[in-house]
Amino acid sequence: MDLLELKAIYKSGVNIIDYLVCRGVGRTDAIAISYDLQAGTYTALADENSTYIDEYTSEIAETLNTLGAGTESIMEAGVGEATTLANVRRQLRFEPDSFGFDISLSRALFGQKYFNRKGRGSSSLFVGDMFSIPLADDSVDIVYTSHSIEPNGGREEDALSELYRVARKYLILYEPSYEMATNEGRQRMDHLGYVRGLPQVADKLGMNVSDYRLTKVCSNSLNPTAMLLIEKNKRASGNRNVEYRCPNNGERLQLSHGCYWSESSLRIYPVVLGIPLLTPQHGIIATHYAEFI
Ligand SMILES: C[S@@+](CC[C@H](N)C(=O)[O-])C[C@H]1O[C@@H](n2cnc3c(N)ncnc32)[C@H](O)[C@@H]1O
């Protein structure tokens, strides 16, 4: 695939996910490439529309503040350029360790820079896939999303199961509501391959949904955001000790010479400009690595 050519096609205004899927590229790869090409646009937009970002994230921060007693770690899955995470974190009345991951490295790099400028405390951002998150079960006290399950229509059950697996106390989804959208909104979501029926999927998977409602702040009336609050084990004690796991076999990763090493899957995961690359595909086969360290 010629990424330079794709960059020019993206700049001419073509929908890259449609373009790639029509040419036989799998939807997950198409989403990753499309979002990587868009990198930088969210931070620019957030700087131009700081009032909107403040309002949108204050609603999320308020939910987290209400649930927050004893919360020691939070994570945004599909963190993009961290424009949501940084502004949520800034408005929290507690001091959790903050994690975020995205399928796109370019976006995570923009995110790291944005968080350092706008967030509070530090953040640990990594590249990961929400369908194989490189963390152990029950790792992070509060896991939340903001429009990141959105483009993965058809994979709702897989996404919710995996996000729920790594959440310790709560999983909170801020995602488009197909059910509460207008007919025009639904047609648009159908065309874009957006998720639907998340509360029903959560019910089907036996999760405890304790709230589901539209948010007050919405940037696009054709794509209304709803908050879905799923309680897992709200009385669990908080966890600051979040460790990376091999996305191929779940083993704890060891930091070795600036990379992450999985002794039992015999793979190395690189770290680029401080961002660990932890999708299954990033694992470099290194069956003799142990002989050199
Ligand atoms: C609409 S953007 C939202 C970004 C961010 N959550 C925010 O509020 O600004 C959707 C993000 O989800 C990410 N994403 C989509 N599918 C993903 C997957 N399977 N694993 C990780 N990230 C994913 C995209 O790369 C993109 O950055």
What was the pLDDT predicted at 79?
98
Distance 240 CA to ligand 1 centre (A): 24
Place of tokens 């424009």: 83
Partners of 34 in beta bridges:
none
Ligand 1 atom with the smallest distance to the CA of 80 is 27
The closest residue, in CA terms, to atom 13 on ligand 1 is: 78
Distance 291 CA to ligand 1 centre (A): 38
Report pTM.
0.97
What was the pLDDT predicted at 68?
85
Task: Provide DSSP, 69-136.
Answer: TT--EEEEET-TTSHHHHHHHHT-SS--EEEEEES-HHHHHHHHHHHHHHSSS-EEEEE-BTTB-SB-
Please list every protein residue whose CB sits less than 6 Å from any atom of ligand 1: 28, 31, 35, 42, 76, 78-80, 83-84, 102-104, 107, 129-131, 146-148, 150-152
Report, in angstroms and rounded to the nearest whole number, the Rg of the chain calculated over CA atoms. Answer: 19
Distance 243 CA to ligand 1 centre (A): 22
Q: What is the pLDDT of residues 88-104, one digit of tens each?
A: 999 999 999 999 999 99
Please give the Cα distance from 276 to 20 (Å, whole number): 27
What was the pLDDT predicted at 7?
94
Q: How would you classify residue 273: left for phi > 0, otherwise alpha for psi between -120 and 50, otherwise beta?
A: left
The closest residue, in CA terms, to atom 10 on ligand 1 is: 148
What was the pLDDT predicted at 280?
96
Distance 81 CA to ligand 1 centre (A): 9
Identify each DSSP E strand in the chain by its residue range: 73-77, 97-102, 123-127, 140-146, 167-176, 208-214, 225-231, 254-256, 259-262, 267-269, 271-272, 275-276, 284-285
- Asked if 96 and 203 count as a contact pair (C-beta separation under 8 A), the reply is no
CA 226 to centroid of chain Cα atoms: 17
Looking at domain 44-231, its CATH superfamily turns out to be: Vaccinia Virus protein VP39 (3.40.50.150)
The closest residue, in CA terms, to atom 15 on ligand 1 is: 148
What was the pLDDT predicted at 19?
93
CB atoms within 10 A of CB 143: 29
Q: What tokens were used for 255?
A: 């930091």
Give the pLDDT means over successive 10-residue stretches in the chain (293 positions). Answer: 92 92 90 94 96 96 94 97 98 97 97 97 97 97 97 96 98 96 96 95 98 93 96 93 96 97 97 98 97 94
Distance 146 CA to ligand 1 centre (A): 8
Q: Where in the chain do CATH 3.40.50.150 domains reside?
A: 44-231
Partners of 117 in beta bridges:
none
In this structure, the strands spanning 259-262 and 254-256 are antiparallel
Cα-based distances in Å from 5 to 8, 16, 37, 105, 204: 5, 12, 11, 19, 43
Please give the Cα distance from 165 to 205 (Å, whole number): 12
Q: How would you classify residue 41: left for phi > 0, otherwise alpha for psi between -120 and 50, otherwise beta?
A: alpha
The sheet with strand 254-256 has its strands ordered as 254-256, 259-262, 267-269, 284-285
Query: Residue 127 half-sphere exposure, CB side, CA atoms within 13 Å?
Result: 27
- Asked if 134 and 246 count as a contact pair (C-beta separation under 8 A), the reply is yes
Q: What is the pLDDT of residues 104-158, one digit of tens each?
A: 999 999 999 999 999 999 999 999 999 999 999 999 999 999 999 999 999 999 9
